[in-house]
A and B are shown apart, each in its own frame.
Chain A
Amino acid sequence: MLSTEFKSVGDASWRKDGIAKVTGSEKYAPDVSVDRMWFGRVLRSPHAHARIKSVDTSAAEALGAVCLTFADVPQTRYNERIVSTPPCLYRDRTVVADKARHVGEALVGVAAPTEELAEKALRAIKIEYEVLQVITTMEQARKDGAEPIHDTVLLDGKDKPIVNNVAVQRTIDVGDVEKGFAEAEYVIERSFKTSRIYHAQMEPKSVVCRPEIDGGITVWASTQSIHNTRILLGQIYDIPLSKVNVKKVMLGGSFGSSIQMNSVTPICVGLALKAGHPVKIATTREEDMHDHVRYPSEIKLKLGMKKDGTLIAGEMHANIDVGAHNIQAFPFLGGLGGFWASLYKLPNMKYVGTAVYTNKTPSCAMQGFGAPQAHFAVECLMDEIAHELGADPIDFKLNQYVGLGGTFWGQGPASKCIIRSDGVPELLKTGAELIGWDKRPKPGSQTGRMRKGIGMARGFHTSGVGHAKASGAEMIDYSGAIVKLNEDGTVDLIQSLMDHGGGTNHAISKIVAEELGVPTHMVGLSPCDTRTSLYDVTTHATRGIYAGGAAALKAAKEVKAQIIDWAARVLDVLPESLVIEPDEDLGQGVIYCPNLAERRMTVGELARYLHLNSLGTISSSQSMRQVNCPPAYVSYFVEVEVDTDTGQIHTRRAALGSDCGTVVNPALASGQLIGGLSKGQGYALTEDNQWDPETGELVSKGFWVDGKTPSMSESPKVGDIDTHFAHTYEPTGPFGAKGLGEAAKNPAAAAFGNAVYNALGIRFYEIPITPEKVLAALAAEKSTKSRQAAPKAPAPVAE
């Protein structure tokens, strides 16, 4: 909702970090430098699967380097992403490994006074490997007799054996799926495949660790959660949390790749503790590309329906390749199934999700977390069914989607809520008008070289993983905030919640300003660290504004109550009679009594009065969990142009709609949608990290030159992308706001798939839809047609 009833929320103010970012003065983790700092490098395995027989670091140490081997680190396994609770947390990692499970596995850390010396020392280390069978596909991994990648993992304090390299399996059953299919009059089944892509965040992971004289550590790290990083480091190195301080540093992009404590963070800490020096590790792009990817999926989806298309049964089998470590397959599989369950009403459903280890880079969270995979399968199949039935895909979907009053699964069976705001009909209507949906061509009707097509897909992401249960949660989900009134009437907001770059922190400062009745510019974002801030789980699940903003609002409400209370005493009126509003001319919030015009003072005057009379600081420190997880709906209409000679697909126009409730940062919200289109386009059309099936090496070898993501050049022209927002108000969100970020990407691949179908009349069930695949499909179609059409006349002879 674009609102005019608010003062700060929805205004067009410049984001607080904007000037520092565009002038280059902002400090990110790779910019951090402290006195006496050494530099670390990490020796990584060239083998995808190998036992380490011996490690000889003597030559490296002779060069003056300090080395960290498996023998130097705590051997208790941990899981680097402690968002899940212990019964859902599969622990299979140590700081450096005693066995290489993927090319790029960290085996030895090295620190030296210069990075160049560390690099030289790293090359002087000798490792003897016993090379094992390399497993690069899920099929290979599950075969009887396949080399086990992990024998056991640690689950809730107990060793859990791993059988056939299956990391975890999850099933969800609703209703009676067999009965549902028996009653179905029409059944369709398709197999979909999504690719394993790199996050391509701007900032490669970096970390600086300074050992402190009291036995503690101070850490500056690329992370989506300073508190989870702190808790883990405290656990691994057995340091009380009061002596582990993780500083909040601006994050140079993430797309989910820093949801876990980054693999280099504990290595850096180990090196710093051993060397007795601060140590910095700034990973190279090549290391980073071997460190994390999106979960790829193979999805078999079967839907059963009545003759009119009413869905009555669904069955989904999803296989996902977790790579060498299981970072979060359990919640991922729950998320994928839950997102499917929340797209369309299905009285009977069966879901089986299976996660399999392979000797490849570990998969981890990436923008959408299971939703892009689910959306690709479901939104393409629903489009196909609508076409089969001769129905308009918009009407077909509007008739059956899960909307107002329905139940939304905010990332799996454990977080559910009743839907209280729903802008879907408005989004689809507006998007259809903007793109010219009614003028789209008939699929397969074009014959020229360049063929245009319009595709639509819809969907959502969750807003956080809040839920109502008091115990037994699968995931941790709460945020904290400290709000305090300064002596001149300005406000400090102290919040550990990280901003991935989307403007979350700025948005929350607006929420605080709105509540307090002061101009946005009066609320400052304080630098903070784990010792001075309250816990925040992590910026994931599109929860920043909805959950983090709600915690800040709770603190702001308390501060406002105190302001009103003191002002009532000073102005000698009843507190109930006072209001606070921003006065742009004064640049201040003004407290006044509408019934007694002369009883007024600015917030600054009150703050000074309190200060000079030693009446104390007004402040509030609040922590909270949302008990809901509302859907952040989104709609995608894209127009592509397919060059049938080269097979290339160009994106010509897009109409992107978001139902994020109240829009807090209008320009940035629009930017999120446009960014989602760009990332979604890469996912749909170009990006695919290929692994050599024999060696398990990344075919690009981690070189960015072969890890292609779309840029401005691939985007439609500025005027050809429309963004629009639904007029909704989420009653459980701060000032009516819910999430947006991940939703912006989720239906993208399906929209592209449907658009290509509209242009060519050919369905693609696998992404990316590359030029080679387009040409092959066109050739296959041509040969089918020529076989079908019996020749009636001699073939024309070329002149």
Chain B
Amino acid sequence: MYMNTNTRIIAPEFDFAQPKSLDEGFALMDEHGADARLIAGGTDLLVQMKMERISPAWVISLARIDELRAITAGKGLSLGAMASIKEVSVAAPVKAGYAALAEACNAYSTVSIMLMGTIGGNICNASPAADTAPALLAFDAVAVVKSARGSRRVAMADFFAGPGKSALKPGEILTAIELPEPAAGSGSAFLKISRVVADISQVCVGVSLVRDGDRITDCRIALGSVAPTPIRIAGAEAALGGQKGGDAVFDKAAEIAARDIKPISDARASESYRRHAARIIVRDALKTAWQRAAEGAAK
């Protein structure tokens, strides 16, 4: 019975903590265990609490832990988990080297969500429709995860376990997302189809490829809203590796992607429309990334 659920009132009571350091945060998480939920920007968590999909006794905010907000460029790029979608979208190194990620962040379109929502929250919420996920998958990003017991690195491809489920274990906090340095001749693109611009995607895609002359030497293709998690399409990637770039192979890869995804029908789109649209945007994203790779090489 959904009739009396709503997205305004949080009826159950809960306690709230704002640790100032990671260690303080780990201690709180260990103390409250499964009764606690971390809150980053809150754009998803608060809605789930209002709808009573979750009713945590403790909500622990990461907003006061300054080190989680940094965006630092070195050989690659490190995005603090608490960097807002807006901050990521406008960061110079993101715009310069990771076009697909900048485009994914801009695809949120709603200013308030971009300012409140964080890149880490978007990933930890583990929605199959998370806009940043296909871009991060395409860049082969790595999640840096810490707890009182140490730290570990999780490849983005292993991070999503199911709708709303991530690879995080009890007591762990996602602190940063690291993106490797783009190889010479790289190009990337993100595309999204939705009913209106400010909307959850019907289907979205992130691609990243490396171009050597007229050949594709490396390629990653990831899609969102077409399976229980954001997914990479190995078959489509294999169809492109080592091939001459061009419309024919891009069409072929797009067809494989449309075949290999497992979309459902829901309020946003039918299964058949998702397959159709996936084929179109995979092809278009590949074309754009291919073009960008050439432009990058020309510089």
Q: Is A795 an interface residue (CB 8 A)?
A: no
Is B63 in the interface zone, CB < 8 Å from A?
no
Judge if B199 is at the interface, Cβ distance under 8 Å: yes
Are the CB atoms of A771 and B6 closer together than 8 Å?
no
Say whether B7 contacts A706, CB under 8 Å.
no
Instruction: Say yes or no for A708: interface residue by CB 8 A criterion.
Output: yes
Contact of B3 with A46 in the complex, beta carbons under 8 Å: yes
Q: Are B7 and A285 in contact (CB under 8 A)?
A: yes
Binds A, one of B81-89, B272-280, B288-296: B272-280
B94 to chain A, nearest CB (A): 21
Instruction: Tell me if A645 counts as interface (CB < 8 A to partner B).
Output: yes
Tell me how far the C-beta of B269 lies from the nearest C-beta in chain A, rounded to whole angstroms.
Answer: 8
With beta carbons under 8 angstroms apart, the residue of A119, A290, A771 that contacts B3 is A290
Q: Does B96 contact A (CB under 8 A)?
A: no
Selected interface stretch from B16-24, B64-72, B167-175, B190-198: B190-198
- Specify which chain A residues have a CB less than 8 angstroms from the CB of B269 in the assembled complex: 772
B197-A701 in contact (CB<8A): no
B4 touches A122 (CB 8 A): yes
On chain A, the residues within 8 Å of B3 by CB distance are 44-46, 103-104, 290
Residue of B whose beta carbon sits closest to that of A775:
B276
* A645-686 contact mask (Cβ, 8 Å, vs B): 1 or 0: 111100000000000000000000000000000000000001
Query: Which residues of B, 195-223, contact A by the 8 Å Cβ criterion?
Result: 195-200
B3, closest chain A residue (CB)? A46
Provide the bound-state CA to CA distance between A690 and B266, in Å: 12
In the complex, the answer to whether B9 meets A115 with C-beta atoms within 8 Å is yes
Q: Which of B11, B197, B277, B280 is within 8 Å of A119, CB to CB?
A: B11
A699 at interface by CB-CB < 8 Å: yes
Bound-state Cα–Cα, A771 to B3, Å? 30
Query: Is chain B's interface secondary structure helix, strand, loop, or mixed overall?
Result: loop
**Residue A123 at the B interface, CB < 8 A?**
yes
Tell me if A697 and B2 are in contact (CB < 8 A). Answer: yes
Contacts of A123 in B (CB 8 A): 4, 11
Query: Across the interface, do B196 and A706 meet the contact criterion of CB distance under 8 Å?
Result: no
Q: Which residue of B lies closest to A770 (CB)?
A: B195
| Interface size, chain A (Cβ < 8 Å) | 42
Asked whether B11 lies within 8 Å of A116 as measured between CB atoms, the reply is yes
Q: Which residue of A lies closest to B283 (CB)?
A: A645
Convert A780-799 into 0s and 1s, putting 1 for each residue whose CB lies closer than 8 angstroms to a CB of B: 00000000000000000001
Q: Is B267 an interface residue (CB 8 A)?
A: yes
Q: Are B9 and A714 in contact (CB under 8 A)?
A: no
Residues of A close to B153: CB separation below 8 A: none
* Chain B residues, Cβ within 8 Å of A45: 3
Q: Are B195 and A646 in contact (CB under 8 A)?
A: no
How many angstroms from the CA of A648 to the CA of B276 in the assembled complex? 12
Measured in the bound complex, the distance between the Cα atoms of B192 and A646 in whole Å is 11
- Which chain B residues lie closer than 8 Å to A286 at the CB level? 5-7
Of B5, B109, B273, B280, which contacts A713 at CB under 8 A? B109
- Determine whether B268 belongs to the interface, using a CB cutoff of 8 Å to chain A: yes
Report chain B residues within 8 Å CB of A4.
Answer: none
Which chain B residue shows the least CB distance to A119?
B11
| A285:B8 contact, CB within 8 angstroms | yes
For residue B248, which residues in chain A have a CB less than 8 angstroms away from its CB?
799
Q: Of residues 144 to 194 in B, which have CB atoms within 8 Å of A's CB atoms?
A: 193
Q: Choose from A700, A710, A799 the contact partner of B267 (Cβ within 8 Å).
A: A700
Which residues of chain B come closer than 8 Å to A699, judged between CB atoms? Answer: 267
Contacts of B5 in A (CB 8 A): 286, 701
Residues of B within 8 A of A710 (CB): 196
State in angstroms the CA–CA spacing of A702 and B7 once bound together. Answer: 10
User: Once the chains are docked, how many angstroms separate the CA of A117 from the CA of B62?
Assistant: 29
Are A713's CB and B267's CB within 8 A?
A: no
Which residues of chain B are within 8 angstroms of A702 by Cβ–Cβ distance? Answer: 2, 6
A693 CB, nearest partner CB in chain B, Å? 15
Q: Which residues of the other chain, A, contact B7 by a CB distance below 8 angstroms?
A: 284-286, 703-704
Residues of chain A within 8 A of B196, CB atoms compared:
686, 708-711, 713-714
A46 near B197: Cβ-Cβ < 8 Å: no
Known: A705-B200, A708-B196, A709-B196. A771 touches B9 (CB 8 A): no
**What is the distance, in angstroms, from B122's C-beta to the closest C-beta of chain A?**
15
CA distance A119 to B8 in the complex (A): 11
Of all chain A residues, the one with the shortest Cβ separation from B267 is A706
Within 8 A of A (CB), among B212-269: 248, 267-269
A545 an interface residue at 8 Å Cβ cutoff? no
Find chain B residues with CB under 8 A from A711 CB.
196-198
Query: What's the minimum C-beta distance from B292 to chain A, rounded to whole angstroms?
Result: 20
B6 x A714 contact (CB < 8 A): no
* Least distance between A287 CB and chain B CB atoms (Å): 7
Whether the Cβ atoms of A287 and B6 lie closer than 8 Å is yes
List chain B residues, Cβ under 8 A from A775.
273, 276
Please determine whether B4 and A686 come into contact, CB atoms closer than 8 angstroms. Answer: no
Question: Once bound together, how far apart are the Cα atoms of A116 and B269, in whole Å?
Answer: 35
A768 to chain B: closest CB distance in Å?
10
Q: Within the complex, what minimum Cβ distance (angstroms) separates A746 from chain B? A: 22
User: A649 → chain B, closest Cβ, in Å?
Assistant: 12
Q: In the complex the two chains form, is A645's CB within 8 Å of B9's CB?
A: no
Within 8 A of B (CB), among A696-748: 697, 699-706, 708-711, 713-714
The B2-52 residues at the A interface (CB cut-off 8 A) are 2-11, 13
Assess whether A120 is interfacial by the CB under 8 Å rule. yes
Q: Which of the listed residues B6, B7, B270, B273 has the most CB atoms from chain A within 10 Å of its own CB?
A: B6
How many angstroms from the CA of A119 to the CA of B50 in the assembled complex? 11
Which residues of chain A (306-343) have a CB below 8 Å from chain B?
Answer: none
B1 at the interface (CB under 8 A from A): yes
Q: A288's closest neighbor in chain B, by CB?
A: B6
Give Cα distance in the complex from A103 to B5, angstroms.
13
* Residues of the A chain whose Cβ atoms lie less than 8 Å from the Cβ of B9: 115-116, 119, 284
Kindly report which residue of chain A lies nearest to residue B196, judged by CB atoms: A708
Report the nearest B residue to A703, measured CB to CB: B7
A43 on the B face (CB < 8 A): yes
- Establish whether residues B193 and A646, one from each chain, have CB atoms under 8 Å apart when the complex forms: yes
Residue numbers in B under 8 Å from A700 (CB-CB): 267
Most buried by B among A122, A645, A714: A645
Q: How far is the CA of A771 from the CA of B193 in the complex (A)?
A: 11
Question: Which chain B residue shows the least CB distance to A798?
Answer: B248
Question: Which residues of B lie under 8 Å from residue A704 when comparing CB positions?
Answer: 7
User: Nearest chain B CB to A353's CB is how many angstroms away?
Assistant: 31
Set of chain A residues within 8 Å of B267, measured between Cβ atoms = 690, 699-700, 706
Task: Give chain A residues whose Cβ lies under 8 Å from the Cβ of B6.
Answer: 284-287, 702
- The minimal Cβ–Cβ distance linking B65 to chain A, given in whole angstroms, is 29
A711 and B198 CA atoms in complex are apart in Å by 8
Instruction: Please judge, given known A-B contacts A46-B2, A46-B3, A771-B273, whether A706 and B268 are in contact too, CB under 8 Å.
Output: yes
Q: Is the CB of B2 within 8 A of A701?
A: yes
Give the Cβ gap from B35 to chain A, nearest Cβ, in Å.
Answer: 19
Complex-state Cα separation, A704 to B50, whole angstroms: 14
Report the minimum CB–CB distance from A414 to chain B (whole Å): 39
| A772 in contact with B273 given A686-B195, A697-B2 (CB within 8 Å) | yes
Take A103-B3, A771-B273, A772-B270 as given contacts and tell me if A284 and B198 are in contact as well, using a CB distance cutoff of 8 Å: no
Query: How far does the alpha carbon of A43 sit from the alpha carbon of B198 in the complex, in Å?
Result: 32
Report A-chain residues with C-beta under 8 Å of the C-beta of B268. Answer: 706
Residues of A with C-beta under 8 A to B195: 686, 708
A45 and B11 alpha carbons, distance in the complex (Å): 19
Q: Which of A43, A646, A690 contacts B277 (CB 8 A)?
A: A646
Closest chain A residue to B272, Cβ basis: A772
In whole angstroms, what is the CA distance A700 to B267 when docked?
7
Per-residue interface assignment for chain A, residues 742 to 777, with 1 indicating a CB less than 8 Å from any chain B CB and 0 otherwise = 000000000000000000000000000001100100
Given A45-B3, A686-B195, A772-B270, 14 more pairs with CB closer than 8 A: A46-B3, A46-B4, A115-B9, A123-B4, A286-B5, A645-B280, A646-B277, A700-B267, A702-B2, A708-B196, A714-B197, A772-B269, A775-B273, A799-B248
Question: Sorted from nearest, which 3 A-B pairs have the closest CB atoms?
Answer: A713-B197, A284-B6, A119-B11
Which residues of B are interface residues toward A (Cβ below 8 A)? 1-11, 13, 109, 193, 195-200, 248, 267-270, 273, 276-277, 280-281
Q: What are 10 A-B contacts with C-beta separation under 8 Å?
A: A116-B9, A116-B11, A123-B4, A285-B8, A646-B281, A686-B195, A708-B199, A711-B198, A713-B197, A772-B270
